[in-house]
Amino acid sequence: MFCPDCGTWNRAAAATCTRCGTRLPDVAAPPLDVPDEELRELRAATGNRYTIVKRLGSGGMAHVYLARHALLGRPLVIKVLHRSLSQEPEMRERFRREAEAASRLVHPYICAIADMGTSGHIEYLVMPYYAGGSLADLLSRRKTVGATTAAAVAAQVATGLDYAHRRGVIHRDIKPDNILFDEDGNVALTDFGIATARFHGRLTASGRAMGTPHYMSPEQAMGRLVDGRSDLYAVGLLLYEMLLGHPPFDGEDSYAVGYKHVHEAPVAPDQVDTRVPPVLSAIVMKCLAKQPAERYDRGFELGDALVQFLATVGGADHRAARTARVSGLTPF
């Protein structure tokens, strides 16, 4: 986890920061009451292959449980589609598509799908448990992170996206909640539920904006067809928020936010906070160009730019990002 005082990454099991000695918070989610009937249904649906430990939380689409493999004992996460949504064919299809899309992407910076299944109204996915929490967790504890940490995280995100894009998969919902960390601080992209792919044209018709308003590209907000450069726009939004503590655009509703993505120019990060290095600010602004043709063409190029920036400052973040660049971005 990241230290709330100095921003240094520490292993999940660490009690204090290795750099400044600050006592690290316990980020484990508190157990939530889960009805016995719900547990029985989930255990029956999974064939008792998993021991359900507790419910970690609930999102707009699914309940999330911490579990352990009944035989191997390793921690896992089980996502269960909300019962009300499981009655809707399109939502069931979207949920299954997350598993299909992720199963095609075997990469260190993409969250794998370990299992999936259906039983009655229960639809579930099984994924690895990431002890470092999410980028959203980090930003809720520490409003901003340092420039080198932000660049290293974004470089790994770009690495995973480049791999996905080369295999015809566009994520379309890159946001802090969907960026997970393992105990060593490595990134894992998750939630490919609304990803577009060559093999999923029927659920990605133009004219319908899908994604999260604060992290949508202009073309997404207009309901147009998107390509990988739309995801790279979202990486620019992540960088902006990590550096400044807020996304570049906000509004009273999703329409107002979408309008700003389409029509308003963001203020450059180094103009908001002079501590942001101009080189990194320029990278962010290139990601946030309104026209896709003016952005980085591929995650490979964005990753290169971030690694070059980190090379100018050195340190562990540079070494980690360079490793990501060599191991994850090399085409194969």
C-alpha span between 231 and 216 (Å, rounded): 9
H-helix segments, 62-109: 83-86, 89-103
Looking at the DSSP bridge assignments, the partners of residue 16 are: 23
Q: Dihedrals φ, ψ of 143, to 5°?
A: -55, -40
Residue that has been written with the tokens 């070059």 in this structure: 308
Residue 122 CA from chain centroid, whole number: 25
Residue 13 in 3-state DSSP? coil
310: nearest Cα among 110, 198, 150: 150
Task: Please pick, among 173, 191, 231, 270, the residue that the annotation labels catalytic.
Answer: 173
Return d(Cα 305, Cα 230) in angstroms, integer: 18
Distance of CA 123 to the CA centre of its chain: 22
| Distance, CA of 228 to CA of 174 (rounded, Å) | 11
**Cα-only R_g, the chain:** 20
Q: Which residues of 145-183 are buried (b: 16+ CB within 10 A; e: fewer)?
A: bbbbbbbbbbbbbbbbbbbbbeeebbbbbbbbbbbbbbe
Cβ proximity of 309 and 283 under 8 Å? yes
Whether 36 is a known active-site residue: answer no
Catalytic residue numbers read 173
